[in-house]
Amino acid sequence: MTFLNFLISGISLGSIYAIIALGYTMVYGIAKMLNFAHGDVIMVGAYICFYAVSRFNLPPLVGVILAMIVCTVLGMVVERLAYKPLRQAPSLAVLITAIGVSYFLQNTALLLWSSNPKVFPSFFVSGSGGTGVELFGGQLKISYVTLFTIIICVIIMLALTWFTGKTKMGKAMRACSEDKGAAQLMGINVDATISMTFAIGSGLAAIAGVLLCSAYPTLVPTTGSMPGIKAFTAAVFGGIGSIPGAFLGGLLLGIIEIFAKAYISTQLSDAVVFAVLIIVLLVKPAGLLGKQIREKV
Amino acid sequence: MEPILKVEDINVYYGSIHAIKGVSFEVNQGEIVTLIGANGAGKSTTLNTISGLLHSKTGSVTFLGEDLGRVPCHKIVSKGLALVPEGRRVFLQMTVQENLEMGAFTQGGKSVDADLERVYAQFPRLKERCNQVAGTLSGGEQQMLAMGRALMSHPKLLMLDEPSMGLAPILVEQIFDIIRELHKAGTTILLVEQNAQAALSVADRGYVLETGKVVTTGTGHELLESPTIKKAYLGG
């Protein structure tokens, strides 16, 4: 039963990684850049939601929506100001800029909200005062946060699959990620599509931020960086650029991390996570679901 | 007759390399015009400039009386100008049908189904493989897909960049048959080819490019018969 407990918390943590990883992988897929500031957008989302709910006493749902709006706009503004002027620049310049944006966001948060940890409010308490469901006579406890996280992640995954597979804009996005020049010849506005990708990724980051802080309620300006790095790892693990890959990579990473913590050592859990990543990349360099593209001549 | 496409004195640079040196030509309604020349003569560069992927420092490109110099690349196709790029550049990870839908990106939603039918009728091979990922098609099928995709946008002028590249002779013939059919159906075509023999035999008029300049022009027949052209491009 403890095994099942660990598995469920692994899936829950993995769901958060997966949502963050989706942002990384979509932006990479289309702009061919690693947006290392993505983790810090999560932190901004969490702070916005925190202030909306704790200070302004808004309902949690309004707080989440507000966080999504702010993060979506933030993502688009960052793309416009920091990355778009570098569209033709070497990828190393873009990477360094992304790291710069990451520090910029962290330090701005430090200025605005100080380094004192904020305790994130708990949204998930049922009417009877319980915080979760109990199964098998109380042996298996699943908190509402956990359940909710998993459900949200599945919904996001299904929605994104539908969006990229069935809608005109989603297909245009895939076209851009394959060949920007050809996409332009089709009449697709590549700049607008890239901007939209950042908007979607950042909006998802806001959701991830709220879920993350609901599960681990301490909020500081560096809250986003470690989950950001882990989610990036998850995206690479699953095959960067692939949406199902980010989902799978995130879930596996969360499960491995929790199991490593439970059965090996709390301190070594990150080492185990990254060791698994290295082994997977040695065997499958493109990641679990990554495609090695061969061109026909 | 008023030309539908008029290219006047364009100069294109790749950094310090002067790739196109004052090229001018025009295409009239209903014609097949071909640009021929060796590797590096500037044929593809010319097409990419017309479609807005590259920009000219001087001169102008006028299409149906409108100057295209200020029009961003993604707006060109909705003006009625479609390019089938060199190397086909179909979306390899998308299905045949999705590729065609992308071709209709600028079209309103309603006509897309009818257009799909029209293109499938023209290329029955594509219909057989409509749910197949484009990366699994053969080179010839990919070329048909690239042409079909361009036709989805109802182009008033279709530009083809080396449609015969890398194809077996039988397929080259098929591609040129398709070009003739499109021409018969009234499509105006600007064709860039290294296969000068085939290109000139379908073309109404041709321009010969050499190191970024137009050196000769004439009707397809004249150029085919011209001794200098024969020597330089037709291997005889």
Nearest CB neighbour to B142, from listed A185, A293, A296:
A296
The interaxial angle of helices B169-184 and B139-151, nearest 10 deg, is 10
Phi, psi dihedrals of residue A55, rounded to the nearest 5°: -95, -35
Q: What is the pLDDT of residues B84-133, one digit of tens each?
A: 999 899 999 999 999 999 999 998 777 889 999 999 998 999 999 999 99
Range(s) of the domain holding residue A201 = 2-114+139-283
Does residue B133 belong to the interface with chain A, where contact is any CB pair within 8 Å? no
Res. B10 pLDDT band, cuts 50 70 90? very high
* Residue B39 to residue B45: CA distance in whole angstroms: 11
Confidence at residue A66, expressed as pLDDT on a 0 to 100 scale: 96
Residue B170 counted as domain residue: yes
Res. A13 pLDDT band, cuts 50 70 90? very high
pLDDT at A293 over 60: no
Contact at CB, B92 and A183, closer than 8 angstroms: no
- Whose tokens are 């006509």? That residue is B111
* Percent of chain A surpassing pLDDT 70: 95
Q: What is the ipTM of this complex?
A: 0.89
Summary mean pLDDT of chain A = 90
Closest CA–CA distance from residue A168 to any residue of chain B (Å): 8
Closest CA–CA distance from residue B68 to any residue of chain A (Å): 14
Residue B180 counted as domain residue: yes
Confidence at residue B188, expressed as pLDDT on a 0 to 100 scale: 94
Confidence at residue B160, expressed as pLDDT on a 0 to 100 scale: 95
Residue A295 counted as domain residue: no
Range(s) of the domain holding residue B176 = 3-93+155-233
Confidence at residue A295, expressed as pLDDT on a 0 to 100 scale: 47
Residue A261 counted as domain residue: yes
Interface test with B, best of A184, A186, A188 (most B CBs within 10 A): A186
Residue B102 counted as domain residue: no
Helical segments of B1-138, H only: 43-50, 73-76, 96-103, 112-122, 124-128
CATH of the domain at B160: 3.40.50.300
Residue A91 counted as domain residue: yes
Mean pLDDT across A3-26 = 93
pLDDT at B234 over 80: no
Residue B75 counted as domain residue: yes
Instruction: Sort residue B22 into left (φ over 0), alpha (ψ -120 to 50) or beta.
Output: left
Q: What is the pLDDT of residues B20-53, one digit of tens each?
A: 999 999 999 999 999 998 888 889 999 999 998 8
Q: What is the pLDDT of residues A27-75, one digit of tens each?
A: 999 988 999 999 999 999 999 999 999 889 899 899 999 999 999 999 9
Confidence at residue A297, expressed as pLDDT on a 0 to 100 scale: 43
Does residue B98 belong to the interface with chain A, where contact is any CB pair within 8 Å? yes
The token duo for A207 is 């959701």
B15 class by beta-carbon count within 10 Å (0-12 exposed, 13-18 middle, 19+ buried): exposed
Residue B116 counted as domain residue: no
* Percent of chain A surpassing pLDDT 90: 67
Confidence at residue B1, expressed as pLDDT on a 0 to 100 scale: 64
Residue B99 counted as domain residue: no
Residue A184 counted as domain residue: yes
Confidence at residue A292, expressed as pLDDT on a 0 to 100 scale: 60
Show Cβ contacts of residue A207 under 8 Å, excluding neighbours closer than 6 positions. Answer: A19, A45, A64, A67, A68, A152, A156
Strands B188-193 and B32-36: parallel
Residue B128 counted as domain residue: no
CA A220 to chain CA centroid, nearest Å:
18
Q: What is the pLDDT of residues B158-184, one digit of tens each?
A: 999 999 888 888 889 989 998 999 999
- Segment (H or E) for A283: helix A269-283
Res. B75 pLDDT band, cuts 50 70 90? very high
* Percent of chain B surpassing pLDDT 90: 63
Nearest CB neighbour to A181, from listed B53, B93, B153:
B53
CATH of the domain at A25: 1.10.3470
Residue A174 counted as domain residue: yes
* Number of separate domains in chain A: 1
Confidence at residue A49, expressed as pLDDT on a 0 to 100 scale: 94
Q: What is the pLDDT of residues A109-150, one digit of tens each?
A: 999 998 899 998 887 665 555 667 777 777 777 888 888 899
Closest CA–CA distance from residue A291 to any residue of chain B (Å): 10
Strands A218-219 and A118-119: antiparallel
Confidence at residue A126, expressed as pLDDT on a 0 to 100 scale: 52
- Whose tokens are 């080396």? That residue is B162
Show Cβ contacts of residue A166 under 8 Å, excluding neighbours closer than 6 positions. Answer: none
Residue B177 counted as domain residue: yes
Residue A102 near residue A225, CB atoms below 8 Å: yes
